[in-house]
Amino acid sequence: MEDCIFCKISSGQISSEILYRDDHVFVIRDIAPKAPTHLLVIPLSHVTRVADLETDDSPMIAAMFEAVTAMVLREDVGNTGYRLIINQGVDAGQVVDHLHMHILAGKKLPEMG
């Protein structure tokens, strides 16, 4: 999608270090990290909301979690733990309207509340 920052990164229009890429997703470091490890797992295709996902998207959904496993190994945070977050909509603070999963780790994360 034309004005989408994550689409521009995936197509190379905006340069960013791609830590991981497969046929469905890619991973970058968050530009404003909230933890020592703060990664974003992003589908290559432009999907805005979880509610827009369809049965055909199952391989992409699986790929998102495969990417999580790969990145947790790479960052070596499997033993200490990590948090996965998908913000959806205004109340959740979603600012980029392209589905993405945050991986947060590397410190004791604040309780949810």
Active-site annotation, residues:
100
Binding residue count for ligand AMP, defined by CB under 6 A? 12
- Asked if 12 interacts with ligand AMP (CB under 6 A), we say no
DSSP single-letter state for residue 91: T
Beta bridge partners of residue 29, listed in sequence order = 39
Which one of 30-38, 44-52, 54-62, 74-82 is the stretch in contact with ligand AMP (CB under 6 A)? 30-38
> How far are the Cα atoms of 6, 18, 35, 62, 97 from residue 75, in angstroms, in the given order?
22, 14, 12, 20, 26
Subset of 60-99 contacting ligand AMP (CB under 6 A):
87, 93-96
- Of 28 and 63, the one with the shorter C-beta distance to ligand AMP is 28
The residues facing 21 across adjacent strands are 26
- Binding of ligand AMP by 19 (CB under 6 A): no
